[in-house]
Structure 1
Amino acid sequence: MNPQYLRFLEQLQHFIPEQRLITDPLRTLAYGTDASFYRLIPQIVVRVEHEQEVIRLISLANEHALPLTFRAAGTSLSGQAITDSVLVQLGDGWTGYSINEDASQIRLQPGVIGAHANRYLAPFQRKIGPDPASINAARIGGIAANNASGMCCGTAQNSYRTLRAMRMILSNGSVLDTGDPVSVRLFQQQHRGLLDSLGTLAALTRANTELRQKIEHKYRLKNTTGYALNALTDFEDPIEILQHLMIGSEGTLGFISSITYNTVPEHPHKASALVFFDRVRTTCEAVALLKATPVAAVELMDRAGLRAVEQKPGMPDFIRSLPEDAAALLIETRAEDPTRLQQQITEIGAAIAHLETSQPYSFTTDPDTCARYWAIRKGLFPAVGAVRQTGTTVIIEDVAFPVAQLADAVADLHQLFKRWDYPEALIFGHALEGNLHFVFTQSFDSATALQRYEGLMDDVADLVVGKYGGSLKAEHGTGRNMAPYVEREWGSDAYRLMHEIKSLLDPAGILNPGVILNPDPKIHLRNLKPMPAADPLVDTCIECGFCEPVCPSRDLTLTPRQRIVIWREISQLQRSGEDSQRLQQLQKDYAYQGDETCAACGLCSTSCPVGINTGDLTRQIRHQHNLNRDRSADWLATHYAGAMRTSRALFTLADTAHRLIGSDRMQTLTRGTRRLSGNRIPLWTPAMPTAAAKPAVPISPVAPSSPDTDKVVYLPSCASRTMGPMRGAEDSASLADKTIQLLQKAGFEVILPDALEGLCCGMPFQSKGLFTAADHKRTELNARLLQISEQGQIPIYSDTSPCSLRLQEGLDPVLKLYDSIEFIDRFVLPRLEITPLETPVALHVTCSSQRQGLDAALKRILSACSHEVVIPDQISCCGFAGDKGFTTPELNASALRTLKPQVQHCSGGYSTSRTCEIGLSHHSGIEYRSVVYLLEQCSQPKVQTEAH
């Protein structure tokens, strides 16, 4: 780090805690990565928590003449969120929101994830207008700063059009809240020169007929190229001009501290249709006709796109035989009631009834079918990413054409792909707005490959701008990728105007320089991100960042995306043999940042477009490190019953000490001992379980039974068999005994496997990369279950969700194994009379439950037992991860750091994993238990039970 940055860092330490100032090589590389195909490594990464820190940071940057780049989620695709200077990340302090009385407006801080904003509005049947494909990961700051749109919002409901008010920090550190009259008056008094200059620019722009007409034409289309010049023609009030210029400015004009949106309706009734045509031209004719009908979205997919997904499960066979010029439209319409929905379906059908389709079509309101249709459309981008050659990157561009010329534009794009030899390129997009995405794979490892990419982009610019007068960027933002083409699209007058805006609002040029406006005509060909092979488990990663919101270590160390970034770097350095000192440092740091603090929960795979489970990579790394431990693991697997008895004895010993000396002294003693051991001794907390009693031998069912009473094999997990409730728990019965009581109450005859103590699914070994021992235990258990279930005739109840998931991935197919959630939902609830609690209860859906798709079933169970079920916001995996809560407790603490205030009013918490419940109890201040306890408490057997 050069002296200028060292001096800057030294002064930063006066008001930013050291743990939020990152300069080490591993994390600057990891945190500096975004979803684009560019790479710059920041000198310093700063995590800010509130406005005053941002103001002081901007002031200090001005003093040292050092550039700042603000980063929200890093899902941007055009290189607008990277820097080789100072990267500013948002901490926990930026997730606030408020909704007005009728939910017509929502005020959001920039750290709120877009999908979360919609979740807050869902009870009012409202949503925010912008709906980017990245909405489950993208944060409001980035959505607004890029004017991101999506499939349904078009130009009428994007951030620019639905903006109500904004709180911003400008490059001189001044704050303006346009929703606060006092702030506005003060700003007008103190910044009269700036506001007058904006007013003058607007008046000159409106007076320039040619320029005004160009602006009006450009924004009839979707357009995010350059600055929002329409602010100068749409508004006369300089305050309105200023806040609308901030939309789409990509952090180059100021920092958005909060934004107030006018919300839009979220109609509950929806219908979708997938319509195939033999010709692209017919498809585009349909788009033009649909523009005047009550459609919410019209998505186009070309033949190459359909070919990329035609082999996917559930795809109709006829797609494979469609002609080369075929295309499809995915149409959705929405209404506030079923009658109106049907009227809209009829109107839409009538508009295109005279067009010839490849197959008859119909609209469906079935949620599963609609979800399958949209999965096809959303699978197009990852379909290319999943099959690309290792070492290449996936590039997605987005352009917009006048809808009337859409067919010709698609044909011309196809010709460009042929000319520049991109046979895999496919086209899809938001056809209703003339907005097309094209996706292709690109290598940057040779001059020839670079020239091919440059030639394609030059031709695309000539085609979109020169021939069609379209937009080179419709919704992804200008960034570095399209900066060389801004003047070509807008012309010299408009380009000069953009420079004047930048100079007015950022005269020192410290805010995200090089983005949107860049004098280098080759900037889009520089600082290209390498994508070297790392491991087949993760090589298809496109570094989009969709995985990050669900990762429990995201605010402690690394996210799945960042782990892959670093592992790619380590693998590349190992192959090259260069810079061994850097390699050794990365490997050393990765041991904690990447391995020890990875929960390996696999939740990342549920949000990854290409289904990558980064936990598999972590386990593979652990496997390589633990090869010398295989023999001891095999011994432990063989003597597992003894290990379980030892565990129970240790829990008894710890509980006895807890009882004798009390919680406070026990915590002080064990923390000191852990510290002296170098954290080798596991952490003890008051939520530590007591030893579980051995499961009681099942007796006859409580409910009336017939000669053919249903049987169920009950498989208690290792945790259930060894870990009882915490000391002082509301109910001292073990989970195993409670489960037997519940199943019997529902009329089941419960069967326990013989020699239960030595049985295990293998999860404790699997998580540490001890694959041989893990597979041995699962194989052993499989044989026992086949025997006791009479070769799969009797269903098997598994009481711990992580164990259920592992077993379902490797048991004999004839075995009917159910996680406790599914079994209770399908077979137990119908047999019971439930009296719900009047008090609220908290629910934690484990990562393994989510991966099994059991979220809805678990919510049904809890909703039957309580009138109010609280699911805490922004809590995904709890981070306890088997024994990580004992050995790496900071992971559990970080994952649950926002839990306590959200559940303090609840009478209790419930989940489906005993180890998770330890950490949840410790960090929430309330006791978490299995849902079985709640259901057993609230239920009585029905007088008559029916066989399932």
Structure 2
Amino acid sequence: MTNNTATMKPEFQTLFERLQTFISADRLITDPLRTLAYGTDASFYRLIPQLVVRVETEQEVVRLISLAQELGTPLTFRAAGTSLSGQAITDAVLVQLGDGWKGYDINADASEIRLQPGVIGAHANRYLAPFNRKIGPDPASINAAKIGGIAANNASGMCCGTAQNSYRTLSAMRMVLSDGSVLDTADPESVDNFRRQHRGLMETLSSLGELTRSNPALREKIEHKYRLKNTTGYALNALIDYEDPIDILQHLMIGSEGTLGFISNITYKTVPEHPNKATALVFFNSVQTTCEAVSLLKPTPVAAVELMDRAGLRSIEHKPGMPEFIRTLPEDAAALLIETRAETAEQLNQQITDIKASIAHLETSQPIVFSTDADECARYWAIRKGLFPAVGAVRETGTTVIIEDVAFPVEQLARAVADLHELFVRWDYPEALIFGHALEGNLHFVFTQSFDTDDALRRYEGLMDDVADLVVHRYGGSLKAEHGTGRNMAPYVELEWGQDAYQLMQQLKALLDPAGIFNPGVILNEDAKVHLKNLKPLPAANPLVDKCIECGFCEPSCPSRDLTLTPRQRIVLWREIKRLENSGTDPKRLQQLRKDYAYQGDETCAACGLCSTTCPVGINTGDLTREIRHHNNETRENLANWAAGHYGGLMKTSRAAFSLADGAHKLLGSQRMQSLTSGIRRLSGNRVQQWTPAMPTAAKRIKVTQSAPPEVSDQAMQVVYLPSCASRTMGPMRGAEDPTSLADKTIQLLRKAGFEVLLPDALEGLCCGMPFQSKGMFSAANHKRKELSARLLEVTEQGRIPVYSDTSPCSLRLQEGLDSRIRLYDSIEFLDQFVLPALEITPIDQPVALHVTCSTQRQGLTEPLRRILSACSREVVVPDQITCCGFAGDKGFTTPELNASALRSLKQTVQHCEGGYSTSRTCEIGLSHHSGLEYRSVVYLLDQCSQPRSC
């Protein structure tokens, strides 16, 4: 995409030109589409950067900061953009992390982990899991938030409290300061050099620390503030907790929101992740009793105590699986979700006994029952985690969901909850609900807000002013317990801290960022109305995505996230396109956005739906993409219907094409074939599809038979085998270890397990409709699925015989619309439930790679698939950076850069494996090409490792 610098201010143009000398043009982004997309975070504010710079190395950061200092150009560092208070947006230069920031290192006893800022928090915990350790911070966004943001915001969470946040578990840090200097506090030589070269800075920090510690009133205020959860302003506790200026400096960086420097890596002291856990959901008839319970629970061995008020319970009481008695709870009722963890089962049982005894004298609506069942505990947590999206799902289109974050002394929690409810009534927020980390007095309150009228703005301003007065003056609490100050709370920092502490913060900012280039306007801001400016519009765009709150939880799962756009960014842009369409204000901008969106938003969207599995409100952005394609392809609907009606002939043609390509491959060899086809693709303007050496040969035609082979007994269970279009047309790749087609191998395995295998008549013309649905050709897609459903009803004898579907994407498509009488099993389900128990397995010693397809994940079949592979191999490797492979049916042929981007880290992760396995033939083409291994169906490995079970 072409950069546009014509409208940039001169200082940004100069910076852009000089950055080109050491950063490639594709990582310097100025076009209107991507600056809007990349500039959006999870807050309800919007600023559009003039320039987005994607940095890959620390040296690039050093040179960028030096240039920004020279030119006086503000920089804002961005990790995942899940922050809620407006600290990750800018109208100047936004600095994104590229691929080069995902490194980690665990010390010998796993007591520490060194992490680069681009590592996702949940991935850090995954690396530590084999050692039963984890990092301390556990924000709700941990599956999307990156370490850089977690540290820069001092994010905490449900179990973290104040003892295990980034500040308390910091061991060492490597940082880049405003003069371009680098300090690594884990390296004695770096520390010694820094002390010599920054003597003035060291002396000033030491002096500020001494003055703070010798000021009784200020010291007492700081100590009080940090007995609570508190992320308002800078970490002044560093000045009283430490005397060494190096320690002061690295702890000031925690929670500084990128306003004091850049954290290029951080070493955490890890904390135990106890394997034994128990959870209870305890209901009380009054908030007062609930909060009494919190105080009593604080000294007991609880890991988490989560409070939910009556409004919160009401928001989820009608959801499936919720106990009926919740609906009958009194208006003042509340609940506590209590979790305890221990190293052994015996310790856990003792802890449960102690916890129950501590609150046994309090009246509860239901008996207190702890569960150790993982599924039941997950359901309890789903109730708590569902509160925020419950509000988002029912909000009016055009409004945003705001989640505020305050902390009170625990002993005053009941009165504080009542006072907050009074404010909701006063300012007319009837939908507002309260939940939070009660053990720390940390409450979140959630409400919906529009900003489209003066009255709406007045209500919001009045509520925030009253909340600030309530929290600070009545309770001496924290206005931001864990979400960070940002722009949202910047006007209230001095109100909370007082003049002396506020001036100290200003001194620290001036000391460490004298030119004010780091994230200006965040944390410290003289504009008393900044929290009411630059508010994000959320216009209606499409009912499929209008509930999106732009949180960014979807982004790590998206295969195009590092190529073009993420689901959040697609929605942001589609909203802007619809806003411009409806307003008619800027037709030139609208035309350019539509043109650029065609590739960035549509062509490179895999429409895999993985985003829906991590979205708090369940949005599948792929549905939006398919609808856009539907409207773009309306003129081709007749062609699609014709193709659906002649599908058998098309399958024969496809098989012939694969046979022809394989013949050419055999004749020319891989290198010449690739050179020839790449040249033809370039000359055609990429209209000719991509060819790779991993392309399949033509599959042999399946012979339809209804008779059982001699080795199958009369009592054998019958199964209808439904091979997908891909399985029927695509054979193994040339040079495959086993040239048997998937269909033949599947029939062989099912018969080995004692099944009589049946196949539908007229198989060639059958299809689930997926190829049509993915292109937005809904009429043809639904016709094929309906036709297949009718055929399956016949062959299964109205559903008596189960159906085995060999390709996971097709299974998912069918499960969403088959006749309810048909018992359709994805291959994973059937193999796990029926085939494995019927076989004797001898696992291989070599490691194998496993790719879990997006449709497998969406069907909830990840663990059964792991179970099958683990039965067949002693080591199963699942690359942690890869979600959907991006092949997306035929995208691997037509838009191969999507597949390449999604799998760019695959080869280095699996190169030591014996082979790769998955459950989608098309996915396996791209996986084989980009890994250097042969990927094939799990059926091949299971057949290789098995024998019929002895009677």
Q: What is aligned with 1:868?
A: 875
Q: What is aligned with 1:491?
A: 498
1:366 aligns with 2:373: yes
Q: What is aligned with 1:133?
A: 140
Spell out, residue by residue over 1:500-549, the C-alpha distance to the aligned partner (whole angstroms, 9 max, x if none). 00011000000000000000000000000000000000000000000000
Q: What is aligned with 2:5?
A: none
Q: What is aligned with 1:636?
A: 643
The residue type paired with residue 101 of structure 1 is A
Q: In the TM superposition, what is the alpha-carbon distance from 1:631 to its structure 2 partner?
A: 0.4
Q: What is aligned with 2:563?
A: 556
Give 1:666's match in structure 2, choosing from 665, 673, 698.
673
Q: What is aligned with 1:800?
A: 807
The residue type paired with residue 556 of structure 1 is L
Spell out, residue by residue over 1:342-386, the C-alpha distance to the aligned partner (whole angstroms, 9 max, x if none). 000000000000000111120000111100000000000000000
Q: What is aligned with 1:43?
A: 50
Instruction: Name the SS for the 2:564 alignment partner.
Output: coil
1:406 aligns with 2:413: yes
1:159 aligns with 2:166: yes
Q: In the TM superposition, what is the alpha-carbon distance from 1:706 to its structure 2 partner?
A: 3.7
Q: In the TM superposition, what is the alpha-carbon distance from 1:149 to its structure 2 partner?
A: 0.1
Q: In the TM superposition, what is the alpha-carbon distance from 1:201 to its structure 2 partner?
A: 0.2
**Counterparts of 1:218-617 in structure 2 under 5 Å?**
218-617=225-624
Q: Give yes or no for contact 1:742–1:932 (8 Å, CA) kept in 2.
A: yes
Q: What is aligned with 1:142?
A: 149
Q: What is aligned with 1:109?
A: 116
CA distance in 2: counterparts of 1:428 and 1:366, whole angstroms: 24
The residue type paired with residue 632 of structure 1 is L
CA distance in 1: counterparts of 2:245 and 2:665, whole angstroms: 67
Instruction: Name the SS for the 1:261 alignment partner.
Output: strand
Spell out, residue by residue over 1:567-613, the C-alpha distance to the aligned partner (whole angstroms, 9 max, x if none). 00001111111100000000000000000000000000000000000
Instruction: Name the SS for the 1:690 alignment partner.
Output: strand
Give 2:886's match in structure 1, choosing from 879, 886, 889.
879
Q: Give yes or no for contact 2:234–2:256 (8 Å, CA) kept in 1.
A: yes
User: Unmatched 5+ residue regions in structure 2?
Assistant: 1-7
CA distance in 2: counterparts of 1:100 and 1:7, whole angstroms: 44
Spell out, residue by residue over 1:67-98, the C-alpha distance to the aligned partner (whole angstroms, 9 max, x if none). 00000000000000000000000001000000
Q: Give yes or no for contact 1:37–1:395 (8 Å, CA) kept in 2.
A: yes
1:176 aligns with 2:146: no
Instruction: Name the SS for the 1:136 alignment partner.
Output: coil
Q: In the TM superposition, what is the alpha-carbon distance from 1:104 to its structure 2 partner?
A: 0.3
Q: In the TM superposition, what is the alpha-carbon distance from 1:240 to its structure 2 partner?
A: 0.3
Spell out, residue by residue over 1:695-750, the C-alpha distance to the aligned partner (whole angstroms, 9 max, x if none). 24568767964422100000000000000011111111100000000000000000
CA distance in 1: counterparts of 2:879 and 2:439, whole angstroms: 38
Q: Give yes or no for contact 1:40–1:84 (8 Å, CA) kept in 2.
A: yes
Q: What is aligned with 2:87?
A: 80
Q: Give yes or no for contact 1:465–1:472 (8 Å, CA) kept in 2.
A: yes
Q: In the TM superposition, what is the alpha-carbon distance from 1:553 to its structure 2 partner?
A: 0.2
The residue type paired with residue 304 of structure 2 is A
TM-score of the two chains, using structure 2 as the length reference: 0.99
The residue type paired with residue 762 of structure 2 is A
1:217 aligns with 2:224: yes
Are residues 558 and 779 of structure 1, via their aligned partners in 2, closer, same or farther at CA, if it must alter by over 3 Å? same
The residue type paired with residue 560 of structure 2 is S
Q: What is aligned with 2:927?
A: 920
Q: Give yes or no for contact 1:34–1:76 (8 Å, CA) kept in 2.
A: yes
Spell out, residue by residue over 1:896-937, the C-alpha distance to the aligned partner (whole angstroms, 9 max, x if none). 000000000001000000000000000001100000001011
Instruction: Name the SS for the 1:821 alignment partner.
Output: helix
Q: Give yes or no for contact 1:703–1:747 (8 Å, CA) kept in 2.
A: no
Q: What is aligned with 1:858?
A: 865
The residue type paired with residue 32 of structure 1 is G
1:11 aligns with 2:12: no
Q: Give yes or no for contact 1:151–1:430 (8 Å, CA) kept in 2.
A: yes
Instruction: Name the SS for the 2:338 alignment partner.
Output: strand
Instruction: Name the SS for the 2:88 alignment partner.
Output: coil
Q: In the TM superposition, what is the alpha-carbon distance from 1:221 to its structure 2 partner?
A: 0.2
1:814 aligns with 2:814: no
Q: In the TM superposition, what is the alpha-carbon distance from 1:177 to its structure 2 partner?
A: 0.3
Q: Give yes or no for contact 1:700–1:744 (8 Å, CA) kept in 2.
A: no
Q: Give yes or no for contact 2:704–2:761 (8 Å, CA) kept in 1.
A: no
Q: Give yes or no for contact 1:166–1:256 (8 Å, CA) kept in 2.
A: yes
Q: In the TM superposition, what is the alpha-carbon distance from 1:832 to its structure 2 partner?
A: 0.4
Spell out, residue by residue over 1:661-682, the C-alpha distance to the aligned partner (whole angstroms, 9 max, x if none). 1111111110010000000000
Q: Give yes or no for contact 2:706–2:758 (8 Å, CA) kept in 1.
A: no
The residue type paired with residue 859 of structure 1 is R
The residue type paired with residue 29 of structure 2 is I
CA RMSD, Structure 1 to Structure 2 (Å): 0.8
TM-score of the two chains, using structure 1 as the length reference: 0.99
Q: In the TM superposition, what is the alpha-carbon distance from 1:867 to its structure 2 partner?
A: 0.3
The residue type paired with residue 355 of structure 1 is L
CA distance in 2: counterparts of 1:204 and 1:688, whole angstroms: 71
Spell out, residue by residue over 1:606-659, the C-alpha distance to the aligned partner (whole angstroms, 9 max, x if none). 000000000000000000011111101000000000000000010011111110
CA distance in 2: counterparts of 1:426 and 1:323, whole angstroms: 16
CA distance in 1: counterparts of 2:844 and 2:189, whole angstroms: 48
CA distance in 1: counterparts of 2:336 and 2:68, whole angstroms: 50
Between stretches 702-711 and 62-71, larger displacement belongs to: 702-711
The residue type paired with residue 776 of structure 2 is G
CA distance in 1: counterparts of 2:391 and 2:893, whole angstroms: 42
1:123 aligns with 2:135: no
CA distance in 2: counterparts of 1:5 and 1:856, whole angstroms: 50
Q: In the TM superposition, what is the alpha-carbon distance from 1:6 to its structure 2 partner?
A: 1.0
Q: What is aligned with 1:52?
A: 59
Q: Give yes or no for contact 1:703–1:941 (8 Å, CA) kept in 2.
A: no
The residue type paired with residue 461 of structure 1 is A
Q: Give yes or no for contact 1:703–1:942 (8 Å, CA) kept in 2.
A: no
Residues matched between the structures, number: 944
Instruction: Name the SS for the 2:114 alignment partner.
Output: strand
Q: What is aligned with 2:785?
A: 778
Q: What is aligned with 2:3?
A: none
CA distance in 2: counterparts of 1:700 and 1:600, whole angstroms: 40
Q: Give yes or no for contact 2:400–2:450 (8 Å, CA) kept in 1.
A: yes
The residue type paired with residue 719 of structure 1 is A
Instruction: Name the SS for the 1:569 alignment partner.
Output: helix
User: Unmatched 5+ residue regions in structure 1?
Assistant: none
The residue type paired with residue 942 of structure 2 is L
Are residues 937 and 699 of structure 1, via their aligned partners in 2, closer, same or farther at CA, if it must alter by over 3 Å? farther
The residue type paired with residue 625 of structure 1 is N
Q: In the TM superposition, what is the alpha-carbon distance from 1:694 to its structure 2 partner?
A: 1.1
CA distance in 2: counterparts of 1:869 and 1:273, whole angstroms: 34
CA distance in 1: counterparts of 2:887 and 2:903, whole angstroms: 10
Q: Give yes or no for contact 1:296–1:334 (8 Å, CA) kept in 2.
A: yes
Instruction: Name the SS for the 2:787 alignment partner.
Output: helix
CA distance in 1: counterparts of 2:279 and 2:366, whole angstroms: 16
CA distance in 2: counterparts of 1:678 and 1:572, whole angstroms: 33
Instruction: Name the SS for the 1:272 alignment partner.
Output: strand
CA distance in 1: counterparts of 2:942 and 2:98, whole angstroms: 38
Q: Give yes or no for contact 1:304–1:426 (8 Å, CA) kept in 2.
A: yes
